[in-house]
Amino acid sequence: MKQKLSSGAQKVAAAAKARPAETRWSLIGAAAGAILGLLVGGVGIAAMGGAAGVPAAVILALIGGMVGNRYGLSKDRPVR
């Protein structure tokens, strides 16, 4: 188990070094989304007769991370 975690961490570190702008902008987007989500509060999700509260920080951090990833990807691999 320890070996799997170690090899996984090495793969993540190698990917981060190979694409620095993508990594940086993904983290910036996730942090900005989380901060904005903390300001907003929570969101209710209702489906099939039940409802659950979800912190907006989680949802916006995921969305911000995806948007930041796409922006960083365009910086690392420009269209020619």
The dihedral over CA atoms of 58, 63, 65, 68, expressed in degrees to the nearest 10, equals -150
Q: What is the pLDDT of residue 33?
A: 93
- pTM for the predicted model, two decimal places: 0.71
Whether the CB-CB separation of 22 and 43 falls below 8 Å is answered with no
Whether the CB-CB separation of 2 and 44 falls below 8 Å is answered with no
Full pLDDT tens readout for the chain, 80 residues? 888 888 888 888 888 888 888 889 999 999 999 999 999 887 777 878 788 878 889 989 999 999 999 998 888 777 66
Whether the CB-CB separation of 31 and 60 falls below 8 Å is answered with no
